[in-house]
Amino acid sequence: MRSRLLLFLVTAGLALSFPAQAAAQASIKVGEINSYSGIGAPFTGPYKAGVEMAVEEINAKGGILGRKLEVLFRDDKGQPAEAVKHAQELVESEKAALIAGTFLSNVGLAVSDWSKQNKVMFVAAEPLTEALTWSKGHDYVVRLRPNTYEQGRMLAEKAGKMKYAKWATIGPNYEYGKRAWETFRDRLKEKKPDVQVVGEHWPTLGKIEPGPLVTAIMSQNPDALYVSLFGSDWLAFVREAQKRGLFQKTFVVGILLGEPEYIDPLKLEAPEGMLVTGYPWYDIKSQAHQDWVARYTKRGDKPPVLGSLIGYVTYQSIAEAIKRAGSTDTAKLVAAFKGLKVETPIGPITFRAVDGQSTMGAWVGTTKIDPARGVGIMVNHEYIPGEKVLPSDDETKKLRPVN
């Protein structure tokens, strides 16, 4: 009887231990929502490759807290409602510990609102509207990329020293396009009070008709044009503008337009002499970045674009936050992101405790054709850290709602 009782207890103990061991080894799931089809694809395809590379490297080193990191990808198709539907499914059905990603600003804001209501951590990678972490900010959202305010100020600091007084603008008619212009314009007027705005043009995202727009801009005869178009809208606009000589008559400032995603497809059609923010991966000298470029290129047999870097650093940041939290508990993740420092291929960044905005910066430079590569590149570029253009903690608190 004693031996049978002992066998029963051992068997029961083993049975009870197996679920515990399985739970301990279960992967940490992250729900990754992004615009993998449509106008965002030139950015989000390489972004996904950067995510996968980061996860492979993290898991090769033992994962996080002894568990594998697993990413569940979903395509929001550029639609806020679709993104929110995926967020709900990923958390409720797939048991994702947090949500990450998004590309368009209106989509990012919708997911952020959902994360606030449902108390789920949201790590926004790409949406650039400053509202995400300021006027509509809350404890459950952080953002990696420098926002429209930061990049607008970077460009305005340079443009404000130039002679151009009559300005027009063209950008997509939604949150990002409007804020990208307003933040640039406001800082430009502070730097150069004689600035006049002679025209604003807001085509529907993904449905641009470049002919009438180029005609309208040229009839207003601006000295300079601020552009926040991107993707296929930008390509179509450039080709029409080149035919009509717009770039020969007008100085162009372009947010994002030095990013390889948007300048490489133009090849030798890329306008020269534009003042842009972008990513000159081919001319960044730090050893850490060069090593990362070599690993990325070897893995996918093509060099990175900015989306590649953003995907990689987003998941570096998520891994560091989970390590710091020692858990995937949401409250602990919220606390872990406050002041979180992350070593990245472009140097250290910090997620500010006051608003969850990272101090990742951007490169500002001038476009030029590189005949050897057959594409436009950035020259005379400067990396401007986010902390140089972000408002102070006291100023930021005035921008955020009282929770």
Q: What is the pLDDT of residue 75?
A: 97
Whether 282 contacts 22, CB under 8 Å: no
Same domain? For 376 and 269 the reply is yes
Q: What is the pLDDT of residue 97?
A: 98
Q: What is the pLDDT of residue 11?
A: 47
Same domain? For 336 and 199 the reply is no
Cα angle, residue 168 at apex, residues 156 and 126 outer, rounded to 5°: 55
Same domain? For 126 and 192 the reply is no
Domain residue limits at 274: 149-284+363-388
Query: In which element (H, E) is residue 379 found?
Result: strand 375-384
> What is the Cα–Cα distance from 179 to 243, expressed in whole angstroms?
29
Same domain? For 373 and 315 the reply is no
Residue 324 lies in a domain: yes
* Domain containing residue 113: CATH number: 3.40.50.2300
Same domain? For 251 and 318 the reply is no
Whether 82 contacts 302, CB under 8 Å: no
Residue 122 lies in a domain: yes
Q: Is 331 helix (H, G, I), strand (E, B) or coil?
A: helix
> What is the Cα–Cα distance from 222 to 174, expressed in whole angstroms?
23
Q: What is the DSSP letter of 351?
A: B
Phi and psi at 23, nearest 5°, equal -65, -40
Structural tokens at position 92: 């409720």
pLDDT along the chain (403 residues), means of 10: 46 44 73 92 95 98 97 97 98 98 97 98 97 97 97 97 97 95 97 97 96 98 97 95 96 97 95 98 97 97 97 98 98 98 98 98 98 95 97 96 72
Total number of domains constituting the chain: 2
Q: What is the pLDDT of residue 30?
A: 98
Q: What is the pLDDT of residue 18?
A: 41
Q: What is the pLDDT of residue 282?
A: 97
